[in-house]
Structure 1
Amino acid sequence: MKAALAVSLLAALTACTDSATGEGGGCGGPPTGWHSPSDGIGDLRPFDTVRVRGDGVMAWNGEPVPAAMLEDNLRRTATEAPTPMVLFSFEAGAQCPAVRSARRILRASAVCRAGLCGEGTGWRHYAGGKIVF
């Protein structure tokens, strides 16, 4: 009986690890070197946003985009002066494969390789300022 209960509990926990429950929940945390909301954006730094919705669709600045368009947008962003930060988040319920796919695309971008990516919600330009993402 105890063995059956243990197997059932393990199966339930394993099932929970394939959907996001918030920042990093179930899908691993942000890549090493990425900023967090507590770092802030910077007073004058522009930013773009990437969000994985609960249905798995990626959005660039609120607009749904396929992976290829996200890659193109990141290439263009890298040529802007000043280069914007790219802020990534995902909705609760987003499936981990979609979250990991978006992170892979971001990690490969010149913007993130330059240290201008962050993950999480509650971003502000400066401490105590209005939350912008």
Structure 2
Amino acid sequence: MRGIALPLVCMALAGCSGPPPESCIARERDWPLQSGLMRGIDPVLVRIRVERDGRIVFNGQASTPAQVARYVRLLDRQRPPPAVRLDVDGRAPCEAGERVRRMLDGVAMCRDGYCGERGAWEWGYGPPVAPPG
């Protein structure tokens, strides 16, 4: 699946249609989401962090709000959608955290309950189990 999904996402980012162009396949290693997101067959957990200075970090890479919005739209089309963990530094500007929350509002990932730490954990590992005794 990785060989299929990555060129399709690459094509979507490049505005391509039809069979994957050779440039998309050749660029697979340099794709911006490669680190941390596409290492396995399917992404399981997307991490978005808003830092103290308002910067947005998407799976370990500093990203602009426009990049994050585009990545969220692309990932939301996957079935099942990946879980999203959003961490906002308590000292971050309110506007930065709210901007990301608005991006996530209404996407299938969040409607299906995969947003937030608890939803991401349950999607990836199953519901929590009470300790014995």
Q: Which string of whole-angstrom CA distances, capped at 9 and with x for unpartnered residues, describes residues 5-34 of structure 1?
A: xxxxxxxxxxxxxxxxxxxxxxxxxxxxxx
What 5-or-longer segments of structure 1 have no aligned partner?
1-44, 129-133
- Percent identical among aligned pairs is 30
Over alpha carbons, which structure has the higher Rg? Answer: 1
Residue equivalent to 2:92:
94
Say whether 1:60 aligns with 2:49: no
How far apart are the structure 2 equivalents of 1:74 and 1:104? 11
SS in 1 for 2:105: helix
How far apart are the structure 2 equivalents of 1:112 and 1:65? 21
The alignment's C-alpha RMSD in Å is 2.8
SS in 2 for 1:82: coil
Q: Pick one of 23, 44, 56 that aligns with 1:46.
A: 44
User: How far is 1:115 from its partner?
Assistant: 2.7
How far apart are the structure 2 equivalents of 1:77 and 1:102? 15
Distance 1:112 1:76, change over 3 A: same
How far apart are the structure 2 equivalents of 1:82 and 1:114? 10
**Contact 1:52–1:98 at 8 Å: present in 2 too?**
yes
Q: Which string of whole-angstrom CA distances, capped at 9 and with x for unpartnered residues, describes residues 66-105 of structure 1?
A: 1111111111111223311111011231111111111111
TM-score, structure 1 normalization: 0.52
Residue equivalent to 2:71:
73
**Contact 2:81–2:108 at 8 Å: present in 1 too?**
no
Aligned-partner residue type, residue 51 of structure 1: R
**Contact 1:46–1:82 at 8 Å: present in 2 too?**
no
User: How far is 1:114 from its partner?
Assistant: 3.3
Q: Which string of whole-angstrom CA distances, capped at 9 and with x for unpartnered residues, describes residues 9-66 of structure 1?
A: xxxxxxxxxxxxxxxxxxxxxxxxxxxxxxxxxxxx8110111001101111111111
Pick the structure with more helix per residue.
2
How far apart are the structure 2 equivalents of 1:78 and 1:106? 10
Distance 1:108 1:67, change over 3 A: farther
**Contact 2:48–2:87 at 8 Å: present in 1 too?**
yes
Residue equivalent to 1:110:
108
Taking the TM superposition and a 5 Å limit, the aligned residue runs for 1:14-33 are none
